[in-house]
């Protein structure tokens, strides 16, 4: 079965099945972390975009391996790439960082925020967590254009090392407006057909 995760600031679905959740926004993601993940304290230091991507990837990979962490780790190595897309880049973290340097008499640049002022930190976090040594990339697009995304995924598979790819759309405007649509695509699959599964 092909697994996929679709979540936004109000709901989380794994393989089309909605999770029962009490909160919305970041509080909802924190709840999901505590109830379904819970073994990665660094989660709370992540910016909102990273939290969205991290939670989506964790739920997806748990579904892929029936929740067995050891099994999931076995999927590591350089054969899996992480390729994500969005529209907002790291705008949320950029804005927060700017606020720390906006006023000359209150100029205290935050190192903890600064480290998240690039969207590809998300792909790095996922790769580190899962021991993926393959290509990681984060591409910013005007909109979720599946044809462009499919083209980029196809290009990434030109690398002879890559056998599978954790990919999808991970966008975060702010703590109350975000979405992720994530799946794993294997070499030789019909990429556009697979991407259509996360479109709805």
Q: Diameter of the chain by CA atoms? A: 57
Nearer to other proteins, 45 or 199 (CB): 45
Nearer to other proteins, 117 or 167 (CB): 117
Shortest spacing between CB 27 and other proteins, in angstroms: 12
- 8 A C-beta contact, residue 116 and residue 46: yes
Shortest spacing between CB 58 and other proteins, in angstroms: 16
Nearer to other proteins, 79 or 120 (CB): 120
Shortest spacing between CB 200 and other proteins, in angstroms: 33
DSSP per residue, 17-38: EEP--S--HHHHHHHHIIIII-
Return the percent helix, strand and coil in the chain, to nearest 5. Answer: 45, 20, 35
Shortest spacing between CB 109 and other proteins, in angstroms: 7
Sheet holding 12-14, edge to edge: 17-18, 12-14, 4-8, 177-186, 164-174, 80-86, 136-140
Nearer to other proteins, 99 or 154 (CB): 99
Map residue 119 onto helix, strand or coil: coil
Which residue ranges make up the site for other proteins (CB under 8 A)? 30, 41, 44-45, 108-112, 115
């Amino acid at each position: 079965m092909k697994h996929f995760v679709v979540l936004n600031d109000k709901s989380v679905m794994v393989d089309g099945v909605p999770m029962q959740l009490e909160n919305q926004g970041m509080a909802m993601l924190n709840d999901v972390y505590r109830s379904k993940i819970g073994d990665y304290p660094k989660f709370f230091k992540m910016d909102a975009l990273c939290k969205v991507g991290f939670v989506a990837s964790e739920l997806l990979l748990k579904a892929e391996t029936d929740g067995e962490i050891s099994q999931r780790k076995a999927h590591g190595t350089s054969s899996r790439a992480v390729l994500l897309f969005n529209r907002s880049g790291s705008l949320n973290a950029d804005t927060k960082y700017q606020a720390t340097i906006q006023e000359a008499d209150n100029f205290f640049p935050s190192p903890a925020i600064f480290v998240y002022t690039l969207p590809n930190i998300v792909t790095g976090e996922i790769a580190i967590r899962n021991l993926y040594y393959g290509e990681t990339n984060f591409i910013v697009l005007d909109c979720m254009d599946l044809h462009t995304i499919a083209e980029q995924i196809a290009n990434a598979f030109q690398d002879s090392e890559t056998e599978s790819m954790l990919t999808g759309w991970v966008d975060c405007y702010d703590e109350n407006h975000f979405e992720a649509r994530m799946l794993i695509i294997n070499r030789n699959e019909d990429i556009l057909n697979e991407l259509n599964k996360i479109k709805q």
